[in-house]
Structure 1
Amino acid sequence: MSDRPKIAVVIPCYRVRDKIVEVVKSVLAVADFVVAVDDCCPEKSGEFLRQARAEPKLTIVFHEQNQGVGGAMITGFKTALELGADIMVKMDGDGQMEAKHLPRLIAPLVSRQADFSKGNRFYDLRALRAMPFVRRFGNFGLTLLSKAASGFWHLSDPTNGYFALRANALRMLNFHLLAPRYFFEISLLIQLNVIRAIAIDVPIPAKYADENSSLSPMRALVTFPSKLAAGLVHRIWWRYFIYDINIVTVFLITGAFLFFGGGAFGVWRWSHNWMYGHEQSAGTVALAMLPMILGFQMLLQAVVLDMMDKPDAPISDLMETGE
């Protein structure tokens, strides 16, 4: 990366015809490239932007079929990499994300403190009170689940789509594992944790006007848990069984064996005695409970160690060595 990294702002466009021109105009002074992805928008936002704003920095890409915000971002990422960008910024086309905060967002990446930075609306209590209650409640519920799934226990506001990512970290990701639609941001965090990228929250308030959110946090709280569980299993498998094997691996295997083994034994003995009308002995109860308690403690210790496991340097810097 040169002394002055090249910045690309990627904007997924879907039903943002009324806002997209102003959004693009607001970032032209900061960005070296602006990539707008018309995700088969029924309002033809991309064509409207092409006719309204002719800029050498602006690249407009069209999808013949709607692929969701994740699909649009993957296309935008690939285009930005081809243009030679060093830092990619995601900014929605609905005007919620203000360009005046962009220098603050990319500052940790420019100074090489992190591979990934994300806006966090929860730092500003005034902005938090301005957030609609349904969004606030849904985001709080998703935050805890997303921390466990992604492994970034220090990050909050997981559905915030205002983020920046260094190109070298982006190149290490498996694009086919990124969710194509609304789970995209969280799936990106999971993949970043797998490669041991350094991620950081940046206090950035969001503004809420007359725009309609395509994602309902309450709906996400109902539909996301299964995806979060799958993401957690994927992350644990790759982090602690493929890329590395350490004490967390030992605690996970031993803790799971003791906890579920003790539970299975207890269920078997309870069902057997229930069928024949026998009382459980104290020894039988102990044989079931003690392994479960020890297993739970080991699993809990694995969680603590997972929270403490942080890389020493941005993976993007390590990838530049020898280039």
Structure 2
Amino acid sequence: MNSPSAPSRIAVVIPSYKVTRHIAGVVAAIGSEVALIYCVDDACPERSGDFIEANISDPRVRVLRHEVNQGVGGAVMTGYRQAIVDGASVVVKVDGDGQMDPALLPQFVAPILRGEADYTKGNRFWDLRQIKQMPLLRRVGNLGLSFMSKASTGYWDLFDPTNGYTAISTSVASHLPMDQISRRYFFETDILFRLNTMRAVVVDIPMDARYGDEESGLKVGKILGEFAFKHARNTFKRIGYNYFLRDLSLASFELVAALGLLLLAATFGGWHWWHSAQDGVSTPLGTVMIATVAAVSGLQFLLAFLGYDIASVPRRPLTGVLVPRRQD
């Protein structure tokens, strides 16, 4: 990676909640290209902030504290705000449990410094040989969440949406609605949704699956329903904003036509089928054809809309164009 013109351009945020066994090793592995390291004690019962101040002498480290637990999203937003105030150009989020290799950090930062991306994130699914290290439940859960997230975020070319190894341009981060972003396990996907509404460019960075002795707090069975609801909500919000509020394109009319025709097919066909079943007679061929043509036409319009949506993934970075917004 080409070295940044000033070391202070790169900062790292480490949410520090129950990571006292690993945090010292994580900080020690962060290279000299990083000038600022924010360890966010998110009301940790292990008092991680005190532990870090007592056991880590790295002058780059600064402990930020929450009086009340805000979740990983809240911790990251606190780090983002401080990095913006301190004049960093790029801020990287690394977990404190030792499962993210700090040696990969230059790969996450480089596309942003080159002006090719606004946000980068890890992808553990790029090498099929490596993902065998991932526990089966996590593997299946991440595959399902990846497909749901494509619709809700609009980034159809990305995978592994719950990957928390990320980097962002602070000029873009300063325009995020930080108070509205999900605070807990939906954070990684919700921030992608917010970035899409800004038309920010996001790039996947290949990385290996790496798991230590830390047990994940992300339980698929507990969050499946919550994630499904939030993905559906963000999908409707994104489509409404991108296709009917900010812009009106051919795809907007294709979507309206698709929904109208599919609704017609379901209601008209269903109503006549029910009445025919009640009367014990066959549904007239003409009625069947009307419902069938409406359904097929609706599906064609829906596929056309999806094709447009997939092709409209943001391609022009905002970094270098957006003026950083002042943080209060």
Same fold? TM cut 0.5: yes
The answer to whether the 8 A contact 2:155-2:196 is kept is: yes
Q: Identify if the C-alpha distance between structure 1 residues 251 and 5 changes in structure 2 by more than 3 Å, giving closer, same or farther.
A: farther
Written as runs of structure 1 = structure 2, the 5 A alignment for 1:107-256 is 107-217=110-220, 219-256=222-259
**Deviation per residue, 1:185-235 (Å, 9 max, x gap):** 000111111111111111111321211111134544454111111111111
Shift of 1:310: 3.1
Q: d(CA) in 2 for partners of 1:255 and 1:210?
A: 49
Secondary structure of the structure 2 residue equivalent to 1:316: coil
SS at match of 1:18: coil
**Cα pair 2:154 2:313 within 8 Å, conserved:** no
Supply the AA of the counterpart residue of 2:213.
D
Residue identity opposite 1:175 in structure 2: M
Deviation digits for residues 158-183 of structure 1 (CA, Å, limit 9, x no counterpart): 11100111112212222233111000
Match for residue 286 of structure 1 among 286, 289, 294: 289
Contact 1:5–1:87, Cα closer than 8 Å, also in 2: no
Give 1:100's aligned amino acid.
Answer: A
- Answer yes or no: is 1:50 the counterpart of 2:53: yes
How far apart in 2 are the matches of 1:307 and 1:218? 30
SS at match of 1:177: coil
Correspondences of 1:253-268 after superposition (within 5 Å): 253-268=256-271
Residue 19 of structure 1 pairs with residue 19 of structure 2? no
- What is the CA deviation profile of residues 252-296 of structure 1, one whole-angstrom value per residue up to 9, with x for unaligned ones? 111111111221112222233333444310111122221121111
Identity of aligned residues (%): 39
The one-letter amino acid paired with 2:40 is V
Q: Distance in 2 between matches of 1:147 and 1:239?
A: 15
- Could you state the TM-score of these two structures normalised by the residue count of structure 2? 0.92
Letter in 2 for 1:47: D
Structure 1 gaps of 5+ residues are none
Is the 2:31–2:103 contact (alpha carbons within 8 Å) kept by the matching residues of 1? no
Q: Residues 313 and 5 of structure 1: is their aligned pair in 2 closer, same or farther, counting only changes over 3 Å?
A: farther
In 2, distance between residues paired with 1:71 and 1:320?
Answer: 24
Residue 132 of structure 1 aligns to which amino acid in structure 2? Answer: P
Give the counterpart of 1:39 among 25, 34, 42. 42
- In structure 2, distance between residues paired with 1:4 and 1:242: 41
- Higher mean alpha-carbon deviation, 132-141 vs 168-177, is at 168-177
Q: Secondary structure at the match of 1:89?
A: strand
Consecutive unaligned residues of structure 2, counting only runs of 5 or more, are: none
Query: Partner of 1:318: helix, strand, or coil?
Result: coil
Q: Which moved more, 1:4-13 or 1:70-79?
A: 4-13
After superposition, the Cα gap between the structure-2 partners of 1:28 and 1:40, relative to the gap in structure 1 and judged at 3 Å, is farther
The structure in which a higher percent of residues are helix is 1
Contact 1:141-1:221 at 8 Å conserved across structures? no
The alpha-carbon deviation at position 156 of structure 1 amounts to 0.7
Matched, 1:72 2:104: no
Structure 1 distance, partners of 2:266, 2:5, is: 57
- Give yes or no for contact 1:134–1:218 (8 Å, CA) kept in 2: no
Q: Greater CA deviation, 157-166 or 49-58?
A: 49-58
Q: Report if the CA contact (8 A) 1:38-1:61 is conserved.
A: yes
Give deviations 1:89-136, integer Å, cap 9, x for gaps. 110010101110000111111111011111111123332111112211
- RMSD of Structure 2 on Structure 1 (CA): 1.9
Q: Which deviates more from structure 2 when the two are superposed, residues 266-275 or residues 129-138?
A: 266-275
Give the counterpart letter for 2:216 in structure 1.
S
**Could you tell me whether the CA contact under 8 Å between 2:155 and 2:313 is conserved in 1?**
no
Conserved? CA contact 2:41–2:65, under 8 Å:
yes
C-alpha separation between the residues in 1 aligned to 2:195 and 2:323? Answer: 17
TM-score, with structure 1 as normaliser:
0.93
Shift of 1:4: 6.5
Contact 1:13 1:93 in 2 (8 A): yes
Deviation digits for residues 46-101 of structure 1, max 9, x if unmatched? 11101112443222111111111111111111111111111111100101011100
Classify the secondary structure of the residue corresponding to 2:319.
Answer: helix
